[in-house]
Amino acid sequence: MDVEEFARRGLATGADEEAVIKRLVENILEIKKCTPEYASEFAKAVILEVKNSSGHTGDYFDYQKSGVRMGEFGVGSRGTGDFFAHRQFPKIIGKSNASVGVDEMDDAGVVEANGQYIITTVDGMHSRLSDFPFLAGFHVTRATLRDAYVMGAKPVALISDIHVADDGDVAKIFDYTAGISVVSDMMNIPLVSGSTLRIGGDMVIGERMTGCVGCVGVANHLTKRSSTKPGDVLLMTTGAGGGTIATAAIYSGFSEVVEKTINLSFLKACEALLISDVLNEIHSMTDVTNGGLRGDVYEMAETAKCRIVIEEENLRSLVEPEVLKMLDALEIDYLGVSLDALLVVAPPDVAEDIIKVVSEAGVLMKKIGYVTEGPSDSKLLVNGELKDFVPAFRESAYTPVKKVADKPELNFEEMKLRVQAAADAAVEKKIRVIEHLKKNLS
């Protein structure tokens, strides 16, 4: 519970200050192990801080509200709203001398230094794994390494960030780090630094945990999405999922499936490709995560300015059988959920060589599609018929709560305009502050 937000909302309604304090005390006592006297003193201090920090205006204190909430726009839910929000970042960040910048919508950024490409990426842990810190650490580490590997990079270092709310057990930060360290040790990629904080300091009570893991890698040959070319074929490995599938299993009564997600198959396949002669023939790679195959090929087609056709024939055989059985039982679209499979795009004449390298690493891979000239879109070929293959508003709803929340109530096109206006306002603020700083330096 965010006690600061609770107080701000209460006071904003015009409610009596004492009434807000009384309600806040009741909520604090429900969650924290403390005396009524402490809760009362704490609540009064919260109210004081909220009053002192309210009413400020200007660029440093205020921002243009969009009036659109993160959840209702689907930010973080790997669907059309999320993709739209992410496409606002390039105009805020602006042009840079990066070899691969945020405008290319890859999962990692690239700069060039001393004749080598330096790759950096960061992934947030799955929000629903807060009560399962080891799984959170394990899966977020695999995720950030995947994002480095698919740029053609050899990961050389990991960094970690972990935030636990005020009432969370200290052991969470250790269990989370143990999950990271399993992957770190197995792949011989050192965890070198990090940060440990409380969520919201004293203002968030409860046990919620969140965090991220970042990775630095080096490469000589980039396999970015924009290198996808007409005439290429798409190859995909088997996938058993990661944090998303583990979450679906835990919260839907299929906890035995979690074991299937504890593997290093993707990373081993990439390691094999990195040391092979065929690496330089690969045009692009990605991991099947962002809204599932639907989301990833859609984003790849937009970035590369071409049409991608996915052939249905081999797809189901590339999902780990127990995972697929669970997804079918829960009526979760396996093409719209993160499978953590490796997707490789390359010329057809090297496809068999790539499949051979990956299979020798113990991972099954098959051809699942091809790239053609045409509009920047993605299609699914079913029984000889091309069908639209696009992401939904959110990724496939994979927990009971998500099935309820997966119902947008507002007009999406209207929300997009408001979100875009807020992003434009952020650009204007950035320019104003830069001009102010330059003026003070002159």
pLDDT per position as a tens digit, 150-192: 999 999 999 999 999 999 999 999 999 999 999 999 999 999 9
Would you give the DSSP letter of residue 48? H
Residue 291 is predicted with a pLDDT of 84
Q: Is the pLDDT of residue 33 over 90?
A: no
What value does the CA radius of gyration of the chain take, rounded to a whole number of Å? 24
Residue 57 is predicted with a pLDDT of 93
Strand partners, 155: 217
Q: In what order do the strands lie in the sheet with 307-311?
A: 284-287, 342-346, 233-237, 365-372, 307-311, 378-382, 385-388
As a whole-number percent, the residues of the chain with pLDDT over 70 amount to 99
Other Cβ atoms closer than 10 A to 279: 20
Q: Which fold, 223-398?
A: Phosphoribosyl-aminoimidazole Synthetase; Chain A, domain 2 (3.90.650)
Q: Which residues have a Cβ under 8 Å from the Cβ of 297 and sit 6 or more positions away?
A: 234, 308, 310, 343, 369, 378, 389
Stretch 212-220: mean pLDDT: 96
Alpha carbon dihedral 29, 33, 36, 41, in 10-degree steps, equals -90
How many whole angstroms separate alpha carbon 217 and alpha carbon 2? 37
pTM for the model = 0.93
User: Where residue 24 falls among pLDDT bands split at 50, 70, 90?
Assistant: very high
Strand partners, 163: 197, 210
Burial class (CB in 10 A: 0-12, 13-18, 19+), 299: buried
User: Where residue 394 falls among pLDDT bands split at 50, 70, 90?
Assistant: confident
Would you give the DSSP letter of residue 132? -
Q: Which fold, 97-221?
A: 60s Ribosomal Protein L30; Chain: A; (3.30.1330)
Mean pLDDT lowest among 75-89, 274-288, 331-345, 361-375: 75-89
Q: Is the pLDDT of residue 407 over 70?
A: no
Strand, coil or helix: 145: helix
User: Where residue 103 falls among pLDDT bands split at 50, 70, 90?
Assistant: confident
Two tokens at 200? 């919201």
Residue 104 is predicted with a pLDDT of 80
Residue 290 is predicted with a pLDDT of 79
Mean pLDDT lowest among 34-43, 323-332, 392-401: 392-401
As a whole number, the mean pLDDT across the chain is: 93
Instruction: Tell me if 97-221 shares its fold with 223-398.
Output: no
Q: Where are the domains of the chain?
A: 3-52, 97-221, 223-398
